[in-house]
Structure 1
Amino acid sequence: MKRKTRKRSANRYGMATALTNFALTLILFAVGVACFYEDGGTVSAAAEENVYRRGGAGTGTVCLMFNVYENTPVVYEILEILREENAKATFFVGGCWADDNERCLNDIKAAGHETGNHGYFHKDHAALSLKQNKEEIENCNLIAEKLTGTKPTLFAPPSGAYGKNTLIAAAALKMKVILWSRDTVDWRDHDASLIFRRATEKTTDGDFILMHPTKQTAAALKDVLAYYRTHSLKAVTVSECLLATAAPQ
């Protein structure tokens, strides 16, 4: 009898230990998942539904996206070229730039262009918490609305970096997340002919073309717009292009 009792007690002890270890494993897994997602995590397919990289085919349009944190005089050069070529664009402005350039911001609006949100400072949104993402986006919205009377509805994350927290923050603020399908890399390369090639080579309707207010971009812009015109492509704002797009691309 003693042997059987000891065996039964050992079995009970072993089962209890296994259950305890299993419970601890589940707790650690849950904590790990929570931390993983709070720091950005893997973006789900559902969360990606609010990310737009281009408009739909068949729209007959292309979108020039200018990300602006500096070079205000060049912004004015670009505005003049767009006026001469009867073209429209979306300017994604940094909040700290907008705060120091109220007149230019309103001149962008007065010319019929669209103002988008590029964060208040140029931060890595993929590395920000949910609260930090929301603050960056919202602070830029607040200054843009204060200075122009219009609140942006589009958010272009700096460097295209975003995570789950970015998408949750943007959705909470009722904003679309905008990326691009063509990158001119004009912030790095100073050859205007190279900017032209990247903005036109294999470009199709619905493309979002990423640019910045640089001297080389201003030098190439008139030829870029002439190319679009000869290929039956109209340069419009991102929102105008998306109106003809049924779903995110």
Structure 2
Amino acid sequence: MSETTEQPQNVEADGVNHYYSEQYLELQKEPVLYEWEIERQRRDVWLVSGIVGGVFILMWLCTSLSADRGGFFSGNIFFLVIGVVTALQNRYLFAPNQLYHYRMTAKGIYYTQQDKIPEVAYTIARGIGGLLIVGSIIAVGLVGPLALAGAGAGAFLAFKITNMKPRVFHSGCQFKGYGELSIFRDVYGIKIREMPRDTGQYGIVLTHKEDYERVLNDLARSLPDYQITEAESRKEFGY
């Protein structure tokens, strides 16, 4: 966490998908007391990626075991390659780690949330997607129409990757009204919910271990009418 009194700079899209909230734009005008950055992995991301890629790996196993010859290394190896690539793409492109940058002010807290995906990952993934298309089409003549599924998957992935851009969400939560601060110390997280929930402001604050108590105390002091509740599990906390 770093101390700063620097005025916020104007934010430009720079060709990236940016989404701004009114609270963020308003709080951006305020002097920043301190700020911090933190990276977090999405919940159950490897499980979901394994399931997505596992569909193609299962197809490879079934077709390989039923083949007359070739065993596990028959022409249907394309299904295995597609399964592995699909799982990795889902993990690192479709469900990447999230990078948060928080700024605390006297009137509220505002932050950016973005996918942490380096540009080189897009380049590599596009190349792999193109190779999958070519390889699967060639495999049609070797192992039959089943390889068309691989070609279709490669085309779909290549199309999705080509049109993907990093998403950056700019959110904020002003200090006003009354509501609830939900805390979960296992992830050093704090949720701000203004009442009524359907129209009130909402924000999620994630911190490093050494910064947690300071941020929590500052939020509690700035929101004296908010009730503090402690979640007993990550599922209850909702992150």
Q: Tell which structure's C-alpha radius of gyration is larger.
A: 1
TM-score under structure 1 length normalisation: 0.23
Whose strand proportion is higher, 1 or 2? Answer: 2
**Higher RCO (C-alpha under 8 Å, 6+ residues apart):** 1
Greater share of residues in helix? 1
